[in-house]
Amino acid sequence: MAVSKGSTLMPQGVTPGRVLYDVPETMALLNLSRTQLYELIRSRRLVTVTVGRRRLVPRAAIDDYVAELMRAAGGDGGRAA
């Protein structure tokens, strides 16, 4: 893993501030296998767009998926109120 600005850990080769990520980058961001990621796409829990033949995942869709996980886990992400 590489460390980017603001000491946030980002997978190698993933640039913060981007709007679209390809499947391997999304796999790294979410720490999921290819099969798990495509299951999320198939079940429409993760929205994608296509550009030509490339399937890309918008940053907003990744954030929405993580927010869904947080809500399912109790919503506070383990932080004290």
- Specify the DSSP element, H or E, that contains 57: strand 54-58
Full pLDDT tens readout for the chain, 81 residues: 444 455 456 677 666 678 999 999 999 999 999 999 999 999 999 999 999 999 999 999 999 999 999 999 986 655 654
Closest to 24 (Cα-Cα) out of 68, 57, 63: 57
The whole-angstrom separation of Cα 12 and Cα 52 is 25
> pTM for the complete prediction?
0.71
- All structural domains of the chain with their residue ranges: 18-72
